[in-house]
A = this chain, B = another copy of it.
Amino acid sequence: MSELSPATVARLPRYLRLLEEAENGRTVSSDVLAEATGVTAANVRRDVAAMGFQGTRGVGYSAVDLADRIRRELGIDKRRKVGIVGAGNLGTALAGYSGVARRGFDVTAVYDVDPKRIGQKVGGTEIRDMAGVAGDSADGLFDMAVLAVPAPSAQTVANQLVSAGIKSILNFAPARIEVPEGVALRQVDLSYELQILSYYG
């Protein structure tokens, strides 16, 4: 199966975005992909080859076929169900992000602890009681979780999700969390981003 390098995986969404903009039936060269994504053409060809996808010499890559392959490789050829935990400002903003549904993700559940929020709708999805988050995820209501809870509850909620069998967590809460081996985790931390940015600017 796959064995893509982290560097390659991080570039695939960029390629995909460009390929989706290409007209149907169009062919796209490594040069065009490179130009638009800020990498070298050689790098593009290497990434494409790593997925086992083949282009046509003298012609380029079929845009639709390459897009399909990238989606398959990323695991978004079948739609993935995303649960957003926390319906405060952050969770509400994330639930309303454009382009997410278009890229294969369905927000199938949003959670909050606030009784006043529960039952309200955010982006077409009714807010559910956080108390049910573990049960719902175990039931398969969603299979990826986005954490948008206050910092102090982040680890607790993560633990509940892991116990319920969730294997992918994207943490936007302003707190580092730990997950066991085998659970995929990505952390987005405003504070870290600002510190890194500060060095360069």
Interface set of A (CB-CB < 8 Å, partner B): 2, 4, 9-10, 12-14, 16-17, 73-76, 80, 82, 88-90, 92-94, 96-100, 103-105, 144, 146, 148, 151, 167-170, 174, 176, 183-184, 186, 188-201
How many Å lie between the Cα of A80 and that of B100 in the bound state? Answer: 33
- A99 to chain B: which residues have CB within 8 Å? 151, 174, 191
Pairwise interchain contact A105-B194, C-beta atoms closer than 8 A: yes
Contact B170 A76 (CB under 8 A): no
Contact A195 B144 (CB under 8 A): no
**A143 CB, nearest partner CB in chain B, Å:** 8
Residues of B within 8 A of A93 (CB): 88-90, 93, 148
Q: Is the CB of B13 within 8 A of A76?
A: no
Give A88 to B93 CA distance when docked, in angstroms. 8
A97-B190, A174-B97 as given contacts; A195 in contact with B76, CB under 8 Å: yes
| Residues in chain B near residue A169, CB distance under 8 A | 197, 201
Say yes or no: A195 contacts B16, CB within 8 Å.
Answer: yes
Top 10 closest A-B pairs, CB basis?
A168-B201, A184-B201, A90-B93, A89-B93, A184-B200, A89-B89, A13-B195, A167-B201, A13-B192, A89-B92
Decide if B80 touches A144 in the complex (CB within 8 Å): no
User: Contacts of A88 on B, CB cut-off 8 Å?
Assistant: 93
A154 to chain B, nearest CB (A): 11
The chain B residue with its CB closest to the CB of A152 is: B98
Do A198 and B144 have beta carbons less than 8 Å apart? yes
A184 to B196, CA, bound (A): 10
Contacts of A92 in B (CB 8 A): 89
Complexed CA–CA distance, A94 and B110 (Å)? 19
Known: A167-B201, A174-B98. A186 touches B196 (CB 8 A): yes
- B residues in contact with A94, CB < 8 Å: 190
Q: Given A90-B90, A174-B97, A174-B99, is A186 in contact with B191 using a C-beta cutoff of 8 Å?
A: no
